Structure 1
Amino acid sequence: MKKLESQINMIGFFNIGSLEAYIRLANSFSILTSEKEKSLAKKLFFYSDIESAKLLILSNLRFVIHVAKNYSGYGLPQADLIQEGNIGLMKAIRRFNPNINVRLVSFAVHWIKSEIHEYVLRNWRIVKIATTKAQRKLFFNLRKSKKRLGWFNRHEIDTVSQELGVSTQEVKEMEARMSAQDITFDLSAKDSHLDSITNNLRTSFHLEDKKSNFSIKIEKDNWALHATNKLTNALLILDKRSQQIIKRRWLDDDKPKITLQAIARDYGISAERVRQLEKNAMKKLKIAIEA
């Protein structure tokens, strides 16, 4: 798979000339049928077939473009947003299990958005605006909720707070962060007479960041990949109906959590029966993951 990642230029912008030309090229690749997609995914999953991976990537470039367009309001280059989304697509394809009965785009959308989110948060401000998972979710939802350029009034703050399930104070703090501007920490030449202050500030450019620890990040990434693989394999032991219940109840991050009553209506059974199926499925998953 490293060979595939090293060939990222084949879907890059620099060999094409312009974003418009890239979009035309991406839209020229045919959308795969479900059967063809599953066949290619099996070749990649079981035999590490690089050519199959390329076809899966090329046929889904248009989907990455569609997702990236939703982030055009952040003032960042559209080409870079798409390129980050392409990285997410490749990560998704590397992890995609064809034995789970979902289309690749449904599985890949989480990875594509995740890479774009990371890029937006890294580049929207010099100082990171959101560090925790809750802050990141609030940042992106707050951007969607803003209907105008001015500050929220009290009613709008209360509305956003209720819709996102956070406190009004958290909404105010994030809005303040989003409205703040980056300020230089250096002193201008006209302040050169403030030698004592300058000498104190000069040390700030040589301070060690003791919080940075790459080993911890690598360990977390490896654990996340391990946990994802364990969950993916564990889901395969469930029957199709139980798989769908677990996915719709707990794994569809881009959708609101569905109720037992809604699933019961879809399957024509009682909500209590759905609850029992969910409980049994959770027990099986726990045993499989802990094994």
Structure 2
Amino acid sequence: MNKPFRPPQRRRGTAFSSEFLDAPTEAGLARAWRDKGDEKARDRLVLAHRALAWSAAARITRGGRPDEDLIQQANLGLLKAADRFDPDMGFRFSTYATWWVRAEIQDYTYGDWSLIRLPGSSSLRRVFFGLRKAEAELQAEGVAPEDLDAAIGLRFGVDADKIALVRERLAGRDMSLNQPISSGDEGGADWQDMLADPDPEADAEVRVGAARAKARLAALMAEHLARLPARDRQILEGSVMEEDHRTLADLGEEFQISRERVRQLRERALGVLRKALAEDPAARDLLAEDGVAV
């Protein structure tokens, strides 16, 4: 029953002009959606609680305006809550929806934090979202710095090396190596210019071979991308492959579709591309040489 939902444009600032629903009205809207599939009732119920979704996204952002994609994930949580809400249980919708909104935001944050994905175990998720608080509490209790990882691991029931892995990921988000070191004049040095050559004495033939392999892989990637539907390819390139990634909102406005539909098309295109690369012996071998599994 999770049909597409397009919230209206938000006004400037963070304030919402949301309708206040009393308990009987809220229950009536929920029953109309549950029993009759009344989309207007669902939309009214969701729109009345969009400030709840926005504030949940703002808490994750911790200052500043939440990312539009994060707000959209929070809205998806409202939709899922509306699909599953039972007004006959005696709870208000806001109480029930808070858990779905939080779950959607946490899933998005956990999966989108880095291109290098952490394992999806529930224990690592608890560490990811609770590490900072646990560190502060244990330090206040007087735990020595050298014993901190072991103490946190004991609290969450995971090995100390996993604690170190999560801390490393939380230390910083992904950064493009093509990003300028300073925001000064154009044409300045990029971060990649500061990387030391791990083997400055490497054989020239090895370097040439690696460059050719990289060029060949890029050509194969372009061939498989060209086989995708034009819209899927443009969405995949714009949201994933371009240096300045475009948001789901920007792509949705360009193609006149919802952000959720853009996300679905992006995931579909990624799946098709992965399958094509896995079935292409040449591409599979080149990726294997780089230590990339498809």
The question of a shared fold, defined as TM-score above 0.5 by the shorter chain, is answered with: yes
Separation in 1, partners of 2:63, 2:217:
30
Matching residue of 1:196: 209
**TM-score, normalization: structure 1?**
0.55
1:36, distance to aligned residue in structure 2 (A): 2.1
- Tell me the amino acid that sits aligned with residue 179 of structure 1: A
User: Is 1:39 aligned with 2:28?
Assistant: yes
Separation in 2, partners of 1:104, 1:71:
21
1:120, distance to aligned residue in structure 2 (A): 1.5
Contact 2:77 2:103 in 1 (8 A): yes
SS in 2 for 1:128: coil
Residues 139 and 76 (structure 1), Cα distance of their counterparts in 2 relative to 1, 3 Å cut: farther
1:112, distance to aligned residue in structure 2 (A): 0.9
Separation in 1, partners of 2:145, 2:65:
28
User: Match for 2:167 among 153, 172, 175?
Assistant: 175
Q: Which has the higher helix share?
A: 1
SS in 2 for 1:176: helix
Separation in 2, partners of 1:40, 1:145:
41
1:72, distance to aligned residue in structure 2 (A): 0.9
Matching residue of 1:270: none
1:68, distance to aligned residue in structure 2 (A): 1.5
- Tell me the amino acid that sits aligned with residue 195 of structure 1: V
- Tell me the amino acid that sits aligned with residue 199 of structure 1: R
Q: Deviations over 1:66-110 (max 9, x none)?
A: 221220149994333222101110111012122222222222222
Unaligned runs of 5+ in 2: 137-143, 179-191, 222-272, 279-294
Residues 118 and 154 (structure 1), Cα distance of their counterparts in 2 relative to 1, 3 Å cut: same
Contact 1:34 1:103 in 2 (8 A): yes
Kindly report which structure 2 residues correspond to 1:6-155, keeping only aligned pairs within 5 A, or say none: 7-8=5-6, 10-11=7-8, 15-16=9-10, 18=12, 20=13, 23-24=14-15, 26=16, 28-73=17-62, 77-145=66-134, 147=136, 153-155=145-147
Kindly report which structure 2 residues correspond to 1:115-264, keeping only aligned pairs within 5 A, or say none: 115-145=104-134, 147=136, 153-179=145-171, 182=174, 194-202=207-215, 209=274
Contact 2:57 2:66 in 1 (8 A): no
Separation in 2, partners of 1:91, 1:203:
44
Q: Deviations over 1:28-56 (max 9, x none)?
A: 22332222211221111111122221221
Residues 137 and 75 (structure 1), Cα distance of their counterparts in 2 relative to 1, 3 Å cut: farther
Total equivalences in the alignment: 198
- Tell me the amino acid that sits aligned with residue 167 of structure 1: D
Kindly report the root-mean-square deviation, in angstroms, between the aligned alpha carbons of the 2 structures: 3.8
Contact 1:40 1:52 in 2 (8 A): yes
